[in-house]
Amino acid sequence: MIAESLEIFVISIFIKKNFYAARNSIANNTIKYGSEVESPILATTKMTSQREPTVVGVSNFNALEDAAALRAAMKGFGTDEQAIIDILTTRSNAQRQAISQAYTHEFDRDLIDDLKSELGGHFEDVIVALMLPPEEYLCKELNKCMDGLGTDEHVLIEILCTRTKKEIAAIVDAYERLYNRPLAEHMCSETSGDFRRLLTLIVTRAPQGARDEEAGVDPVRAAEAAQQLYDAGEAKWGTDEEIFNKILAHESFAQLRLIFEEYKNIAGRTIEQAIKAEIDGELKDAFSAIVECVENAAAWFAQRLRAALQGAGTDDGCLVRVVTSRAEIDLGNIKREYERLYDKTLQSDLEGETSGDYKRALVALLGPA
C-alpha cells in the first residue's frame, strides 16, 4: 500500500512538471463568428488519404441560414426533429461550430442548451456529441468513464490507445481547460499498475512519453525495438511490461508497424499473439488495441461496434461515441470492414437495435448504404 501511494505521488509530480511546461503548445481554436476553424483532431486525420469519412460538410455553407432553420425547428409547439437531423448530420464539425456562434449572435441563446431542452434520450446524446468540438466531447466521455464508482477501462482504451500524438495533445489540453486538472492526474487516481503507467506515458509530453511522430520511420531502430520486445516477453520467464509500455506508448504508428513486422521475423509469430500469451487484464486489452489500430484501425472500431450491438442490450454509449467521433475520420472504412468481418452491413445491424429519431440520426451519419 505504501509502495502504491509512493508511486502515485511520484507519477503525479512527473505529470504536473511536464504538463504545465507544455500546456500552451496547442493554439486556442476559438471560432470567429461565421468562420470555420477545424479541430486539431479532425485536421490531423486528413493527412491519411486512404481514410474515408462519411461526413464532409456542405458546399455553399451559410451559418446564418442553418441557425435560423434550427431556431424554427425548435420554436413554438412541437419540435421538427427531422430538420435537426438533416442539418446537423450533414455539416462538418467546423460548420456546426460556426452555426452555434451564429445562433448565439442572432438569437442571444445557446444552441446546445436549446437542443437539450427540446430533445431527449440517446437522440439527444447523438446531437450534443455532434455539436461539441471533438476533443471536448472525448474529454467529457473520459471524465464520465472515471467519475463515480468504478472506472470503465474500455472507454479509456478506446479513446487513448487508438489516437495519434496530435489527437492526444488536443484532448489533453481540452481536459485541463474543462476540468482544471491534468488528464493524467485524474487517470492516476482511477487506474493502477502497468495499465496506469501505459496510459500515463501516452498522455504525458516528455521524451519517454507521447508518440514520436516527427522522427520518421527507422528500420534499424525498428529491429532493435522488436528485439527488445522479444527479450522482454517470449524470450524469458515472465514479462517485462515496462519495455512493452515504453515502446507501444512512445513510437509512432508508422514506426510500430515496422516494429511489428520485425517482431514476426524474430519470433515467428505476431506481436498480437505474443501479447495474448504473455499479458492479461486491461493491459492486454490496451496493448491489443494499439496493435490492432496500427494494423487496421477500421477493423478494430468495427469490432467495437459489433460488440456494442450484440448480446443482452445495446451499449448505446459506445455506439454514439464511435459513430459520431469517427464520422469525419474513417466511418466509411469502418462500415466496409464491418461488412467484411460479419457479412452484414453496419446499417442493418444498427437499424435492428435502435429506433426513432435516434436511429435516423445514426443512419444519416453512416452515409449512403
Note the pLDDT of residue 37.
66
Note the pLDDT of residue 25.
41
Handedness of CA 337, 338, 344, 350 (dihedral sign): negative
Residue 67: inside a domain: yes
Q: Which tens digit of pLDDT belongs to each residue from 29-54?
A: 434 455 666 776 775 544 445 899 99
Residue 105: inside a domain: yes
d(CA 369, CA 269): 37
Residue 62: inside a domain: yes
Note the pLDDT of residue 206.
53
Residue 311: inside a domain: no
Note the pLDDT of residue 22.
45
Domain range for 48 is 40-131
What are the helix (H) ranges across 235-355? 241-250, 253-267, 271-278, 281-309, 316-326, 331-342, 346-353
Note the pLDDT of residue 311.
79
pTM of the model: 0.87
Residue 190: inside a domain: no
Q: Helix (H, G, I), strand (E, B), or coil: what is residue 251?
A: strand
Listed residue (368, 356, 309) closest to 126, CA to CA? 356
Residue 108: inside a domain: yes
Flag residues of the chain having pLDDT under 70.
Answer: 1-37, 40, 43-49, 205-215, 238
**Residue 168: how many CA atoms within 13 Å on its side-chain side?**
27
| Domain total in the chain | 1
Q: Can you give the CATH number for the domain in which 116 is found?
A: 1.10.220.10
Note the pLDDT of residue 47.
42
d(CA 174, CA 202): 16
CA distances from 340 to 10, 186, 276, 343, 344 (A): 46, 38, 24, 6, 8
Q: Helix (H, G, I), strand (E, B), or coil: what is residue 146?
A: helix
d(CA 264, CA 273): 10
Cα-trace Rg, the chain: 21
Residue 45: inside a domain: yes
Note the pLDDT of residue 11.
55
Note the pLDDT of residue 369.
78
Note the pLDDT of residue 204.
87
Q: Which tens digit of pLDDT belongs to each residue from 261-296?
A: 999 999 999 999 999 998 999 999 999 999 999 999
**Contact, 345 vs 112, CB < 8 A?**
no
Note the pLDDT of residue 247.
95
Listed residue (330, 249, 292) closest to 48, CA to CA? 330
d(CA 204, CA 325): 23
Note the pLDDT of residue 226.
97
Q: Helix (H, G, I), strand (E, B), or coil: what is residue 108?
A: coil
Residue 120: inside a domain: yes
DSSP string over 195-209? HHHHHHHHH--BTTB
